[in-house]
Amino acid sequence: MKKRRVVVTALGVKSSIGNSVQSFSNSLKNGVHGIKPISFMDVSKLDVKVASYDYDFDASEYFTKKELRRTDRFCQFAVSAAKDALNGQDILNFYSPYRVGVIFSSGIGGVNTMETEHKNMLLKGEKAVSVFFIPMMISNMAAGLISILTGFKGDNISISTACASSSHALGEAFVKVRDGYLDACLTGGAESGISNLTVAGFSNMRALSTSQDPNRASIPFDRERSGFVMGEGAAVIFLEELEMAKKRQANILAEVIGYGATCDAYHITKPHPDAQAQANSILKALADANVDIGEVDYVNAHGTSTKINDVTETKALKLAFKDKAKNLLISSTKSMTGHMLGAAGAVEAAATVLALNEGFVPPTVGLKEQDEECDLFYVPNLAIEKDIKCAISSSFGFGGHNATLCFKKYI
């Protein structure tokens, strides 16, 4: 089967640094982070005091009061981002509904709903558990609700591979469209996992930053980094086959050209110290795209701000790009958004698309003194204006899941 070209024609973003594509892009260019003290729950007994969130997000703009009561916040992020991305376009006036899919992700789904309903059961008994508990909690409901909203009846798949979830979702959607199984696909990821239970769990395993200074909390590749900062939000990316996108005069933002996925097969949380599987995910994506290592201008790194992961990712980039690694422009936008878990890959893919489309490289904010083992160029603190042509975005998740996406500027 002939491989078709696949383009990005719409984005929707909900994040701590912007709830529209324009505000998100402006924050990326200006190095604005959304990290702040946790004020919506009691963290007095925890070492973790900050998170990356925006409670100015108003889901009532997208849902009725009844719908709000029946949907978890992660689904509210997903549906609102999808509505923004499609912006009233009548997609099904052009495509058959069975030729448009939804491949979406969430790493942990409705954990806030689960926590709330468990408390209700303990306090009031089993009959107090909401009849909407299950559909609010299950992580596939974001994909389901988006299809109900849009009428897209093609492949409807929910992917959960921890922090690599939405990069895998986007990669699988790309393959479906490229290989002719779908003509278009709405993809991405959503997460709203900042709760007492999850913060306690990540904190107890020493994965989260213990800094009380929001400006020094999510600092990938910095010597003082102490862990990641939890974030929330969503990104939606609409993919279409190029010729059909041109026929409907869609606004083409960038082209997806490659996808690579591997597994460390090593440990439940730690990346393999040899970094070979991570490097292979990059090389597979480049091979899939038919791109030489010297053609890549920019890397949107996974860059979690954890001790082991940042070092391992740097090693993977050196393995993949060899002597070209020192010429790469690398940044971690998690320094601004925090780590959005299952939504991270999609949000970072959106940042990469904007970088290609608008001619800039986002910075790694808060980077003061690089770890000696993180010795590449991570675009510290200030964005760079540059007409980049080719970029990759990588995501690595608990369980050893690795995914890399390759994009190029559409000309």
Residues classed as catalytic: 163, 302, 339
| Bridge pairing between strands 184-191 and 156-159 | unpaired
In contact, 299 and 329? CB cutoff 8 Å = yes
Q: Tokens 């009561």 appear where?
A: 69
Residue 298 sits at φ, ψ, to 5 deg, of: -135, 140
Q: Tokens 């939804």 appear where?
A: 102
C-alpha–C-alpha distance, residues 279 and 402, integer Å: 9
Instruction: Find all residues with CB under 8 Å of 7, minimum gap 6, and list them.
Output: 239, 240, 241, 242, 245, 250, 252, 253, 254, 255, 256, 410
Q: How far is CA 55 from CA 14, 77, 110, 231, in A?
A: 11, 12, 17, 12
In single-letter form, the type of residue at position 83 comes to K
Residue 404 sits at φ, ψ, to 5 deg, of: -135, 135
In contact, 12 and 235? CB cutoff 8 Å = yes
Strand segments, DSSP code E, in 153-290 are 156-159, 184-191, 233-241, 254-263
